[in-house]
Amino acid sequence: MKILVCISSVPDTTSKINFTADNTQFDTTGVQFVINPNDEFGLTRAMWFKEKQGAVVHVATVGDQSVEPTMRKALAIGADEGIRVDATPTDGLFVASQLAEIVKNGGYDLVIAGRESIDYNGGMVPGMMAAMLKMNFVNTCISLEVEGNKATALREIDGGKEKIETSLPLIIGGQKGLVEESDLRIPNMRGIMMARQKKLNVIPAADAKQGSHEIKFERPAPKGEVKMIDAENLDDLIDLLHNEAKVI
């Protein structure tokens, strides 16, 4: 089985986010970038298929040279080969188009992507890829087993879970549940050294349309001042909840 894991390089959630150029550009100064968490769950599951079933695992991303440390981490975790499309990821349609070309030319049986990235939360890339490639697709996937050409997936739906049986080739939009957080892997020294010898292929971007573009960014409004009410003063508490907060 040949697996492609789609990786997005995103700001660490502890990073302080700022914007420049009159709030029209994201300021990367001092920001630590990591593998998108939903993608990391998928990568870890792909490692299980590699170890248990002998799968070959490639990772791919769309980005400039700055994303290569993130790709090297994926290789250090255990991926066999990396592919970087040398382009700025402008929007979901553009990214999906680039990754679809990789899948089309790579002969992959299984494509694992995160259901969304934690920076823009678009949630569109895996579904767009599936539509472009006319491949089976399971979104919000929390469990995946593959035996031969058959796949059994479990996905979250409103109010419950749905079990699906389908066939390869398959694209999934994965999330926590494919593996648990305790299963995620930290690259060891041997993996880091081996990653330096693994192929990280840089390919030019294919012609693709940009479906949307950012006009302006806006930071969330600051949290309001906290008012402390004495535990015995229920009348003041009720008055504030009713007249100021207007929640009762």
The answer to whether 67 and 36 have CB atoms below 8 angstroms apart is no
> Over the chain, what is the mean pLDDT?
93
For residue 92, the tally of other CB atoms under 10 A from its CB is 21
pLDDT class of 58 with cuts at 50, 70, 90: very high
pLDDT in tens, 96-152: 999 999 999 999 999 999 999 998 888 999 999 999 999 999 999 999 999 999 999
The answer to whether 129 and 93 have CB atoms below 8 angstroms apart is no
Q: What is the mean pLDDT of residues 215-225?
A: 84
Q: Domains in the chain, please, with CATH? A: 2-212 (3.40.50.620)
Amino acid (1-letter code) at residue 36 = N
What distance in Å separates the CA atoms of residue 53 and residue 147, rounded to the nearest whole number?
9
What distance in Å separates the CA atoms of residue 64 and residue 182, rounded to the nearest whole number?
31
Would the pLDDT of 209 be above 90? no
What distance in Å separates the CA atoms of residue 214 and residue 89, rounded to the nearest whole number?
12
What distance in Å separates the CA atoms of residue 94 and residue 87, rounded to the nearest whole number?
10
| Confidence (pTM) | 0.87
For residue 70, the tally of other CB atoms under 10 A from its CB is 22
Would the pLDDT of 224 be above 80? no
